[in-house]
Amino acid sequence: MHLLIRPLGSRPRPTRLISILAGLILTTPLIAGEAPRRANVVLIVADDLRPDALGFSGNAQIKTTHLDRLAQRGAVFSRATCGYPICNVSRSEMFAGRILLGSEVNRNNQGGLKFDPQWILWPEHMKRSGWHTVYSGKWHVTGSPWLNGFVETAGLYSGGGGPPGVKATIPKTPTGRAVTGYNGWTFKTDKNEPLPDLGVGLTPQTDGIVADRAIDAIRRAGDKPLFMQINFIAPHDPLHWPAGQENAVDYRTLTLPANFREAPAFDTGNVAGRDERIVPAPRTAEEVKKERAIYFTLVENVDRQIGKIVQALEETGQLAHTIIIVTSDHGLALGSHGLMGKQNQYDHTINVPLLMAGPGIPTGQRFAAQCYLRDLYPTICELTGLMVPPSVEGLSLVPVLRGKKTEVRDAIFGYFTETQRMIRMTDGWKLIWYPKIEKLQLFDLANDPSEQRDLAAAPGQAERIERMKGRLGQWQREHNDPAPPPRLAMRAP
C-alpha cells in the first residue's frame, strides 16, 4: 500500500508513480553523501499549563530549572496557540495536523471526536517512515494508541480500570475540593490491562510514573530512530501536592495576576462548566492563591520529571540526535478574568508554552511568530526529511527557525463550541466574538498584554473592528463554521 504525500506548499493529488517514488523518499534522508542517523523526536505535552507559569517566560514565583536550561539550548515560540482550548480537540488537532471545527468539535462535546480514515496521523506517518513509535502518559483522543500509529506504550494512563465503586484513590484535594476529574482512570500495561495498584484517578505519584516508564522505554531503544510522545497529566486538576512536596509553595507568598477577578464580567459561554464549579465564583484572592500554590508545585514537579528524561537521553548517548519539544494542550485561567478553566479565548489560555531543542533548532532563540500546535507535525516532517501527507493543514515552522520568515500566517484564529470565536493579528490586535450573546471584545496586546482594557467601544476603533470582523467571517466561511460570523457594521455592545 502506497502513501499519498505532497511537497510542502503543494495541494494536488499525486499520481501513482509520484506516490511510489515519494514513498521511497519517506525513509531516505534528503542529504547528499553518507546518510546521518535520523533524529529521535520526543514530544512532551503537559496539561492545562499556562504559558506564563514557567521560569523562562519570566515568572519569578516558580522554579523550572530544567526547562529553563532546555530553552537556553533551543528555541522558544512565545505566541504559540492551541486553537480549541479543550484537551481532546487540541490533542486531536496535534495528531492530525489540521483544524477540527464544526460537526467534529460538536461530536466531541457528546463524548467522541472522530478521525477521518483518509487522514494520516502524525505517529502513523512516523511509524511508516521507519521510526519506532512509543506513547507514554495520558491518552485522551479517540481509539487507542495502537490504532493511531503507536507500536508500544509505556506508562499508558487512560479512563476505566478501577475496582468497582472506587472513583479515586484520593477523593478530596488538599484545599478540600471534591475530586471531579479523572475519576476511574488507571495506568495500563502495553496490552491495555489495568494497573489499579498504581492508583485510581490522579495521585501525587502519577507524573513520576509516567516519566519513569518513558525513561525505561528510552533505555530500551534499539537501532530505529525513536518517536515518543510523553503526556503528563499535571498541572490539570484535581490538584494534589506532588509526592514529597507538600506545602512546598506557601500561598501567602504568591501574587495574583493583574487580570484577576473574583467572577467573570459576563457569561463567556462556560460559566456553569465543571472547571468553573471547582472553585465557585465569586472566588476570593485567598482561595485562588491556595489553588495556584499547588498548581505551581505541580509545574515544578513536571520540570523535574523532564529533567530526568533529558538525563536519560544524555546517559544513553541519544541526546545529541534527539529533537525535544515541550508544550501543553492549552493554558488555564486559574483566576484570570474571573475564570478558573480553559474554555475561553484569552491569551492565558489559548497561548501555550512551546520550546524546541535539538538537531536543526537554533540555540537561545525566541520567536514571536504566531503558530498552532498542529504546525508541529509538518515542522518535524521537514526537520527529519519527510514529506507532508496531503491531509495535513498545518504549516512548517522551519522557515522561521532558519530566519527565512518572521511569520507563517497573517492571523491566528480560536474557537470554542458555538459560543466563542477569536482572531489575533500579527500586530497584536485581537478580537473576540461571542455569537450567542452578540458581544465583541477588542484588545491591543502590544500595550495591554493582560487584556484588561476592552476597546470594542472606544472612539476611533470602528474601522479596525470592521476589518477584523470581515477577516474572521471569511475564515469562518472557509471552514464551514456552524457559528454565525459577526455582522458587519454591527454596533459593539
pLDDT, averaged across the chain? 90
* Domain contains 16: no
Question: For residue 33, with 0-12 CB atoms within 10 Å meaning exposed, 13-18 middle and 19 or more buried, which class applies?
Answer: exposed
How far is residue 462 from each of residues 119, 234, 450, 468, 490, measured CA to CA in Å?
41, 42, 22, 10, 10
| Number of structural domains in the chain | 2
Same domain, 428 and 402: no
> 461 vs 345, 441, 465, 474, CA distance in Å?
20, 11, 6, 20
Examine the domain organization and report whether 132 and 177 are in the same domain: yes
Q: Which residues of 225-241 are buried (b: 16+ CB within 10 A; e: fewer)?
A: bbbbbbbbbbbbbbbbb
Residue 50: name the closest of 299, 294, 303 by CA.
299
Residue keyed to cell 488538599: 174
User: For position 112, what pLDDT does the model report?
Assistant: 57
Determine, yes or no, domain membership for 462: yes
Q: Are residues 290 and 201 in the same domain?
A: yes
Taking only Cα atoms into account, the Rg of the chain, rounded to an integer number of angstroms, comes to: 22
460 class by beta-carbon count within 10 Å (0-12 exposed, 13-18 middle, 19+ buried): exposed
What is the per-residue pLDDT across 395-447, written as a single tens digit (0 to 9) for each?
999 999 999 999 999 999 999 999 999 999 999 999 999 999 999 999 999 99
pLDDT for 30: 32
Return d(Cα 59, Cα 288) in angstroms, integer. 17
The verdict on residue 54 lying in a domain is yes
With a CB cutoff of 8 Å and minimum separation 6, the contacts of 475 are 411, 413, 423, 481
Last residue of a domain, one of 409, 440, 470: 409
Domain span at residue 473 reads 418-478
pLDDT at residue 21 is higher than 50: no
Q: What is the pLDDT of residues 458-485, one digit of tens each?
A: 999 999 999 999 999 999 999 999 999 9
Looking at residue 47, its amino acid is D
Render pLDDT for 353-363 as a digit per residue (tens, 0 to 9). 999 999 999 99
| Cβ proximity of 36 and 29 under 8 Å | yes
Same domain, 274 and 177: yes
Instruction: Clarify whether residues 314 and 381 are in a common domain.
Output: yes
Same domain for 239 and 289, yes or no, is yes
Last residue within a domain, chosen from 368, 391, 409: 409
Burial class (CB in 10 A: 0-12, 13-18, 19+), 317: exposed
Single-letter amino acid code for the residue at 433: W
Displacement of CA 353 from its chain's centroid (Å):
8
Residue type (1 letter), 364:
G
Residue 104 has pLDDT above 90, yes or no: no
Span 171-198, average pLDDT: 96
Nearest-CA neighbor of 429 among 399, 466, 400, 401?
466
Q: Which three cell numbers stand for residue 360?
A: 536543526
What one-letter code names the amino acid at 462? Answer: A
Query: Does any domain span residue 483?
Result: no
Instruction: Say yes or no: 309 and 370 in one domain.
Output: yes
Quote the pLDDT of residue 17.
Answer: 34
Residues 96 and 242 grouped into a single domain? yes
Q: Supply the DSSP string of 99-129, one letter for each residue.
A: ---THHHHHHHTT-PPPPTTS--HHHHHHHT
Q: Is residue 12 part of a domain?
A: no
Q: Is the pLDDT of residue 119 over 70?
A: yes
CB 418 within 8 A of CB 32: no
Predicted pLDDT at 114: 81
Average pLDDT on 37-56 reads 95
Q: How far apart are CA 375 and CA 358, in angstroms?
A: 17
The DSSP bridge pattern shows strands 80-81 and 371-372 to be: parallel
Q: 435 and 301: one domain?
A: no
Residues 377 and 467 in one domain: no
What integer pLDDT is reported at residue 101 of this predicted model?
A: 84
φ, ψ of residue 239 in degrees (nearest 5): -85, 115
> Considering the domain boundaries, does residue 33 fall inside one?
no
Domain boundary among 409, 443, 467: 409
Cβ-contact 158, 150 below 8 angstroms? no
Q: Indicate if 113 and 51 belong to the same structural domain.
A: yes
- 445, 397: one domain: no
Max alpha carbon distance in the chain (Å)? 67
Omega prior to 235 cis, within 30 of 0? yes
The confidence score (pLDDT) of residue 199 equals: 97
Exposed / middle / buried, residue 290 (Cβ in 10 Å: 0-12, 13-18, 19+): buried
In a domain, 492, yes or no: no
Q: Which helix (H) or strand (E) holds 23?
A: helix 16-25
Contact 225, 40 (CB under 8 A): yes
What residues have CB less than 8 Å from 314, skipping those under 6 apart? none
- Does residue 3 lie within any of the structural domains? no
Cβ contact 230:309 at 8 Å: yes
Domain containing 159 — which CATH number?
3.40.720.10
pLDDT of residue 367: 98
Q: How many angstroms separate the CA atoms of 270 and 280, rounded?
A: 13
Does residue 22 register a pLDDT over 70?
Answer: no
Here the CATH number for the domain that contains residue 425 is 3.30.1120.10
Written as nine digits, the cell of 160 is: 476505566
What pLDDT shows up at residue 7? 31
Q: What is the mean pLDDT of residues 16-27?
A: 35
Residue 153: pLDDT above 70?
A: yes
CA–CA separation, 25 and 48 (whole Å)? 38
Assess whether pLDDT exceeds 50 at residue 162.
yes
pLDDT at residue 245, as a whole number: 96
- Asked if residue 103 has pLDDT above 70, the reply is no
pLDDT at site 315:
97
pLDDT of residue 105: 54
